[in-house]
Chains A and B, each alone.
Chain A
Amino acid sequence: MAAYLSFKEIWRNKGRYLLFSMVIALITVLVLFTAGLGEGLASANKEYLEKINADLLVFQEDTGFSTLESRLDYNTLKQVRRWEGVADVGAIGFSNVTILFTNGAEPIDVSLIGVEPGKPGAPPAFEGEALRSKQSKTTIVDGRIAGQANLQVGDTVVVKTTQGAEDEFYELKVSGITDGRQYFFQPSVFVPLEIWDEIRPKADITNNNAPLLPNILAIQLQNPAAKIEIGQYLESRVDNIEIADIKTTYEAAPGYAEQQSTLNTMKGFTFLIGVLVIGGFFQIQTLQKVAQIGMLKAIGTSNHAVANAAILQIIFVTIFGVAIGGLATLGMAFGLPSSVPIVFTGTAVLIAVVALLLIGPIGGLVSIRLALKVEPLRALGM
């Protein structure tokens, strides 16, 4: 009975309900884009760290888990490497450079990441070969760069860097292409740590004997489940270090928390607007139907049926609106340029869609309560 009444009403008032579904669809688009933007921006900030083959990261003490502030010496690497429970350790260095392409593609600003071939921190190659030699001027490039500049394995790229007050140019041969591994909002280029130290931007180029100081160490553990205990143990045994897991590290990145909380606030407000809009629509609709609801109750329609009819309408309109909004978002996402940092992950989209589907019934609760409170006698003016 409830389904019959609710669907008949929707069918006979198609225009009104379609229009309102479009409002829900627009809210859906807004929520999904905000969610996608949150994922995209977060991903651009942390993609490399999220995919890193390590359980813990070692930083210089009191650097607030900042990969750029931290500097570690070779002695620290040796000490960490020998502790029981540590399976492997790799040193990593970060800096920013510009790469130029011989095929005429536009130069791209990238994160230049120095890694030890075969050690934690070094990326896998999905095309070509992983880094092998510590000394060779070869590179593994982020899949985004390869796509953007139409790079192939075996091509040569030129790194433009600033050393002292001069621009310097280094040629690197692309030995392999990895997947998307952005860091600090830039795609990454991976080189052996010693090559990184040679070509990275630096102010002082007079001291050629300066020791290689990587920024952080990536640790693989024999038992990743024991990372908290081993981390605390290492911090107490090795001087001048602090240890964090991957999540703590990217959450400590400058601006990350602020950026995410801003987007989450936007998302929250969009949901709130959704609840209010849906609630307002159905409340006005119920107020307009007081006499009709009163008549239905007077002829013997139960409160249960009245409430179910209202709930079914709200659910149907919400599902329809969210589906249209989802499809519209999908369509628009295909048309976005790759430079727009929007990423739709299954989990984020699922959470957003479930939340959107819930806001309908939540928003409609007031109208359902209103419908239940309609007194037939008063509604009919008897």
Chain B
Amino acid sequence: MKEEILTTQDLHLYYGDKEALKGINLNFDEKGITALIGPSGCGKSTYLRTLNRMNDLIPNVTITGTIKFKGDDLYAPSADTVQIRKEIGMVFQQPNPFPFSIYDNVIYGLRIAGEKDKEKLDAVVEKSLRQAAVWDEVKDHLHESALALSGGQQQRVCIARVLAVSPEIILLDEPTSALDPVSSSQIEATLLNLRHDYTIIIVTHNLQQASRIADRTAFFMNGELIEVDQTKNIFMNPANKQTEDYISGRFG
């Protein structure tokens, strides 16, 4: 039995008066990929953003319930959001490299944490870019601006940037929806490589993508978690009628 690294219990989230998450209970085992799917506005991205407290940045958000990361309450008054986000990294829909060189992008987190040892930084850059499967494409221009890269390369540099601070969990919010199919499949390959070492939670609109890469899939609708199971069960043999309707394209 694998250990549960992240647990959510009875999680409610309100934007002002509007209830966007209506009591989510969902746990994640260590390692592997979990995909969150569901129609637009179902709350899957909102849910993902509660897991590293990115929703804190939005005014008028109220959150109730508990989220525990390795047993510690993420929303305890003593919780340190900066530390949380180091352990639970995030990749966004829009590739968002900083307007600096590729090298600087990858080591940004470490450098600000005070790491100065050049050899160590070099090693981390290479390792992270290799893990993100973009090393071969960028190794000859590490000191050129990351903004000169293609969208897919930028996104993989962003993944490398997250990997460089060695998180335990990586959250991805529709990381391929702004990319072309070739870049998307490269990102998918990258994630499949990473699934043995990291706990990956990915929000995606692309059902094929979920079925290709996810070990588990969770289906959200109208702010509720409808069903979560092994991916093949969700796609081949869903327990819930709504899941079946969504998977088979009858709505959404």
Chains A and B form a bound pair: no
